[in-house]
Chains A and B, each alone.
Chain A
């Protein structure tokens, strides 16, 4: 059975400590329900990382969604997309007719600054905050000549410029490479403007069986993996191989020969180096060309392979559990031609990639890659 994305919605993304998760979730779900033209679902998958226990039922009962199967999943930054692929599988196999996938997170009330490293994890206990994990990759890229500081900064410049056209984004602006490099150092060589902000938000999608309507957005393929060991034998930086392997699975599921057939992509750019590594791991650009592609406009709106037209995590914001579903909402709007000044003209095939989690010794906790298509 082919599965359609019948409706999507998101809250505003940003620091919203005075709002609660009930309100943020309602913003996302009410928009997704109105978009789909429905007022009920048969089951719900909720993705979140740091929300309190019981959050799914707590927000859903406030909108009258009770007495049906509700499942909460956690897969680090890929929690929202994990909820989506599980909801997709439930519809595809006929387990449920209409399913809601909801992602939510309130980071501003959970952390004073960056995410506190997990002290039951060896490297977390040793103080390896997520910016430092990505900084290790960035420093390695600079050392081997695979990227320059200016190319790293170009990702931030591009995504902040994209977000100027996205009213839901937390930050946007016309920065220069020099301004990005001159912002406060967080973990060498990554500066503040190369790191995603602290964000609160929710995003949702309603999945149903496709009805064959013209322009309908359907799920063409999907894949999920957890990380294999990443160590001294690994040929790439942290997080590369899990993205490459999951992408291969998703493209096979979608029946696509090459990722370059895709018209528009949303990827997990929690840090600038993340987008560079990911565009290479996806196969959008040749190995080692990720930085050059960002600096040269290849991955900008109007370029050969537009990446993160929404502004990405760097600018839209990164409420962990909500991110994946916000990425899917952006690609759905792109495939419907609803994105205004950030529209990728004629986009018919879109891809979403989310990867995250810093469990020691693993190449990421989880990666989800989804291919959507406008029929």
Chain B
């Protein structure tokens, strides 16, 4: 339907001086909720937030491989929900066409050519 125009809603990522990739998100000043997005208020409690960086390491909560046509992406492609250490649950792409092992380690390795958050996983 809609083609991807306008601001990119996906998480913003940075490379630290150490060479690690991190998500530049926000943390709630009241309830400590971590969010992968630069939103003005905490989605859990509505309180003020401050800039926070999350990653690069995390754990795979679940994973799948999309095998149907989705505009802007070429199937098959593997996706994982990754719980970043002390951070939010983020959706990331995984190289290959196998699901990532659930419960296994994952770490951010930047963005894919399509601009999607990408992780490498322990297999």
Binding site for B on A (CB under 8 A): 50, 110-114, 116-123, 125-129, 131-132, 135-137, 139-140, 143, 184-189, 228-229, 231-232, 237, 360-362
Given contacts A125-B9, A136-B63, A140-B61, contact A232 B68 (CB under 8 A): no
Would you give the shortest CB distance from B35 to chain A, in whole angstroms?
7
Question: Could you jot down 5 A-B contacts, CB within 8 Å?
Answer: A113-B69, A116-B2, A122-B36, A140-B62, A188-B65
**What are the nearest 3 A-B pairs in CB distance?**
A135-B64, A127-B73, A232-B83
Contact code string B29-57 (vs A, CB < 8 Å = 1, else 0) = 00001011100000110000000000000
Helix, strand, loop or mixed for chain A's interface? Answer: loop
Q: Find out whether the CB atom of A136 lies under 8 angstroms from the CB atom of B116.
A: no
Q: How far is the CB of B45 from chain A (nearest CB, A)?
A: 9
Contacts of B10 in A (CB 8 A): 122, 125-126
Contacts of B99 in A (CB 8 A): 139, 188
Give the chain B neighbours of A112 by CB distance below 8 A.
Answer: 69
Chain B, interface size category, equals: 35 or more
Q: Find out whether the CB atom of B33 lies under 8 angstroms from the CB atom of A229.
A: yes
Query: When the two chains form their complex, are residues A117 and B70 in contact, meaning their CB atoms are under 8 A apart?
Result: yes
* A117, closest chain B residue (CB): B70
Interface residues, chain B, with chain A CB atoms under 8 Å away: 1-4, 6, 8-11, 33, 35-37, 43-44, 61-73, 77, 79, 81, 83, 87-89, 91-93, 99, 102-103, 116-117
User: Residues of A contacting B6 with CB < 8 Å?
Assistant: 120
A360 vs B37: C-alpha distance in the bound complex, in angstroms?
Answer: 11
Report whether A116 and B1 are in contact in the complex, using a CB–CB cutoff of 8 Å. Answer: yes
Q: Which of B4, B37, B64, B116 contacts A139 (CB 8 A)?
A: B64
Contact, CB under 8 Å: A136 / B43:
no
Establish whether residues B2 and A119, one from each chain, have CB atoms under 8 Å apart when the complex forms. yes
**What is the bound-complex CA distance between A118 and B2, given in angstroms?**
7
Choose from A123, A136, A237 the contact partner of B64 (Cβ within 8 Å).
A136
User: Given contacts A126-B10, A139-B99, A228-B44, is CB(A116)–CB(B71) below 8 Å?
Assistant: yes
| Bound complex: CA A129 to CA B66 (Å) | 8
Interface core residue of B1, B66, B81, B99 (most chain A CB under 10 Å): B66
Q: What residues of chain A lie closer than 8 Å to B35, measured between beta carbons?
A: 361
Q: How far does the alpha carbon of A229 sit from the alpha carbon of B89 in the complex, in Å?
A: 11
| Contact in complex: B68, A119 (CB < 8 Å) | no
Q: Which residues of A contact B64 (CB under 8 A)?
A: 132, 135-136, 139, 187-189
**Out of B1, B9, B36, which one reaches A121, CB within 8 Å?**
B9
The residues of B that contact A123 with a CB separation of less than 8 Å are: 91
**How far does the alpha carbon of A86 sit from the alpha carbon of B69 in the complex, in Å?**
37
Closest to B72 in A: A127
Given contacts A120-B6, A122-B37, contact A185 B67 (CB under 8 A): yes
Report whether B65 and A127 are in contact in the complex, using a CB–CB cutoff of 8 Å. no
A362 to B44, CA, bound (A): 10
The contact of A137 among B1, B11, B62, B116, by CB within 8 Å, is: B62
User: Complex: how many Å from CA A132 to CA B99?
Assistant: 11
* B1 near A232: Cβ-Cβ < 8 Å: no
